[in-house]
Amino acid sequence: MVRVGVDESLSDELLNDFPQDARIVRIPRNPTSAVEVDFWILPFQRRDAAEAFSHLRGVKVVQSMMAGVDWITPWLPKNVVLCDGRGIHDISASEWVLTAILSSLKRFPLYRDMQLRQEWKGQASVADGFLNEGGAQVGQYRVLGDDLAGKTVLIVGYGSIGAAIEARLYPFGVNIVRVARSARPIPEVHAVADLRKLLPEADVVILIVPLTDDTRGLIGVPELGLMKRGALLVNAARGPVVATEALVEALTQHRIRAALDVTDPEPLPAGHPLWLAPNCLITPHVGGSTPEFIHRAFRFGAEQVRRYIAGKPLENVVTGAGY
């Protein structure tokens, strides 16, 4: 009998797929004594996770439901197997990225602000200066939004979410350029070492990398300086992947645009200059938070427990690289 630890408040509905030979152990949010579990399912980015773990005994596997595990690795002993939630977030995260891109290009945040002021004006090009009003349309109509079709989109972090993003972008007729830790031929993926060479050609740069020592500060002053004027930076990874001060400066100088689901610091405190930076759309780390996500997560968790009981290799085992 494998003891599977879950949060005390977890809905019974989410446990329906777990095998009968798994004994569910509900772990109190504030444990006062030791709790024996073999397999701990840690659903979300709990700030008290390290404290909760200190009360657990016998843990052999920790299954995170988050794609990023940078918040777990500092305190989890090396002899405990850690599995991440790679694949669980593909749908929700990729849909957020697509929404963020289209909302930014079509200037929805600007027009929402105008709606709240009850203003009926087409002012996008006046507000940011990025839209091209030269050429044949002069004197005919104003350019008030941008098209995604024909854009070059650079996906930095071509894993399962990156591939899901590409699939959703494909119908829009964009040119996809892929970047990962290492280059590979099919489909063509560039090594992250080539990032600076690729940035100047991108209209949209999507960050979907894990936070590791190698990716912290991946986008800083040099990288932001290489982006073309008016390019859109979409961060769906982790806040520290981008140097915040450099990002604020680039936005304030109206050199680029940004759509962020993550920030550094996070939560972003009131009064932080990023809140009011021009041409910046911010959501509070909600890209993966949908009702369907939690069901996908626990179906995956149940499958991992079945694998463990059967002695099969677990999926998504985190390596020394941090993912």
**Percent of the chain as helix, strand, coil, to the nearest 5:** 30, 20, 50
Catalytic residue check, 89: no
Burial of 132 (0-12, 13-18, 19+ CB in 10 A): exposed
> Which residue has tokens 């709606």?
115
Considering 86, 89, 285, 296, which one is annotated as catalytic?
A: 285
Catalytic residue check, 216: no
> What is the b/e burial string over 280-306, where b = at least 16 CB atoms within 10 angstroms of the residue's CB?
bbbbebebbebeebbebbbebbbbbbb
Bridge-based pairing of strands 175-180 and 61-64 is unpaired
Considering 266, 272, 303, 307, which one is annotated as catalytic?
A: 266
Considering 190, 238, 257, 296, which one is annotated as catalytic?
A: 238
Bridge-based pairing of strands 204-207 and 22-27 is unpaired
Give the separation between CA 4 and CA 61, rounded to whole angstroms: 10
Catalytic residue check, 51: no
Rg, C-alpha atoms of the chain: 22
Give the separation between CA 53 and CA 42, rounded to whole angstroms: 10
Task: Report CA-CA distances (Å) from 83 to 61, 301, 302.
Answer: 8, 10, 13
Task: Report CA-CA distances (Å) from 230 to 251, 282, 314.
Answer: 10, 17, 44
Contact status, residue 210 vs residue 236, Cβ threshold 8 Å: no
Q: What is the dihedral of CA 108, 114, 115, 121, to 10 degrees?
A: -90
- Nearest CA to 49 among 62, 61, 34? 62
**Which residues are designated catalytic?**
238, 266, 285
